[in-house]
Amino acid sequence: MNPIELHPGLADVPVAESAISFIDGHKARLEYRGIAVETLARESCYEETAYLLLKGELPTQRELADFDDQLRHRRRIKYKLIDIIKCLPETGHPMYALQAAVAAMGMFYPARDVTNAQSNWDSAVRLIAKLPTVVAAFHRLRHGDDAITPRDDLDQAGNFYYMLFEREPSPAIRKVIDACLVLHAEHTMNASTFSGRVTGSTLANPYTVISSAIGTLTGPLHGGANEEVLDMLDEVAAAPSVQAWVDDAVAKKKKFMGFGHRVYKVKDPRATVLQELAEHVFAETGRPKRYDLAVELEAALAGILGPKGIYPNVDYYSGIVYNALGIPRDLFTPIFAVSRVAGWLAHWLEQLQHNRIYRPEQIYVGKREQPYVTLEKRP
């Protein structure tokens, strides 16, 4: 009988005390530092939200202006980093490029002394400012285009869109991108955040912390889901009817991408607010057929998944919105990372406040006290 109990996936096992975000999975409630995420998505902006996550309080007007200024002036990436990105295979996934570029970025900036609060803050600002530039640069370069120099007269959302498409977004498009950045910025102790905290607990430098988190986000059960939602909707569109596809998927015990969440047992509040903001964009871009299909599929699955507490999560609709904006599928998860970096960094700073290296237990189930048989005596 083992004295310790195994909790697969660490479900229900707290791994830290945290004051950054809170979820009530039964009431569809997500708060950043106590403020409802829907309010932030509608009324705040990504810059203010990032400051709130990092510092724990909303900024004054002056603090926000100063933070915004710091971000705008740290967007450029070193030409050597552009050279590194140019050498990466253009057919590779942009998440791998982002992870590699962030790890490499750590070689350009002094950040090893994580007891230095000013250096930690500078690293945090630099990472939030530069991640969009890396994603946009890889995207442009892989198509044979020059990377676009970031503009300092645009906000985070507007500049990101500009670096991708070489044109400014309309106000409605800028707002929905900004809201997506706010909605994905933080989400309690999920896999990538935990991974970043584990790396941070070794006192590794922040670029390594963030590249660990980016690597964890690549998986289809985590950040990669919004890309797979679109693939799934392509399948649904090709089926004779939504119901026929659902019947077949249920019979084959398929997993419905963009549905389900370890914590939410009702519809993810981020999905609801995203749908609301998406309507403004669709008024400009036209209502995508995939969106109507997604709404129809949600209704068709409600009776099957609803009783199990499985509802759409944020990724169910975010991909459709990005698709309507002309953003390619493999950039969906990098955009998640461009946003979530604020939450990861807030957790890294929190971890350092009362750090103890993560060193969990295991339940050993292998053989013991085996003889070593020399190679020539083995069959």
Report the interface residues with ligand CMC, using CB under 6 A. 9, 187, 190, 221-223, 225, 255-262, 308, 310, 313-315
Residue (46 or 317) nearer to ligand CMC, CB: 317
68 or 227, CB closer to ligand CMC?
227
Residue 73 CB, shortest distance to ligand CMC, in Å, is 31
CB of 151 to ligand CMC, least distance (A): 31
Q: Smallest distance, Å, CB 309 to ligand CMC?
A: 8
Find out whether 200 and 348 touch, Cβ atoms under 8 Å.
Answer: yes
User: Toward ligand CMC, which CB reaches closer, 62 or 252?
Assistant: 252
CB-based burial of residue 329 (10 Å sphere; 0-12 exposed, 13-18 middle, 19+ buried)? middle
**Cα-to-chain-centroid distance, residue 186:** 8
* Among 266, 191, 259, residue whose Cα is nearest residue 25: 266
Contacts 24+ apart (CB under 8 A), 73-77: 73/129, 73/152, 74/125, 74/126, 74/129, 74/130, 75/129, 75/130, 75/132, 75/133, 75/150, 75/152, 75/159, 76/130, 76/133, 76/149, 76/150, 77/101, 77/105, 77/130, 77/133, 77/134, 77/137
Task: Name the minimum Å distance from CB 51 to ligand CMC.
Answer: 23
* Catalytic pick among 68, 178, 268, 315: 315
315 tagged catalytic: yes
Q: How far is the CB of 177 from ligand CMC (least distance, A)?
A: 18
Cα angle at 340 between 165 and 166, to 5 degrees? 10
Buried b (16+ CB within 10 A) or exposed e, 9-46: eeeeeeebebebbebebeebebbbbebebbebbeebbb
- Which residue's CB comes closest to ligand CMC? 260
For ligand CMC, the closer CB: 277 or 337: 337
Closer CB to ligand CMC, residue 67 or residue 336?
A: 336
Which member of 184, 261, 268, 347 is catalytic?
Answer: 261
The answer to whether the beta carbons of residues 207 and 338 sit under 8 Å apart is no
The minimum distance between CB 246 and ligand CMC, in angstroms, equals 11
Closest to ligand CMC by CB, 253 or 354: 253
Residues carrying an active site annotation: 261, 315
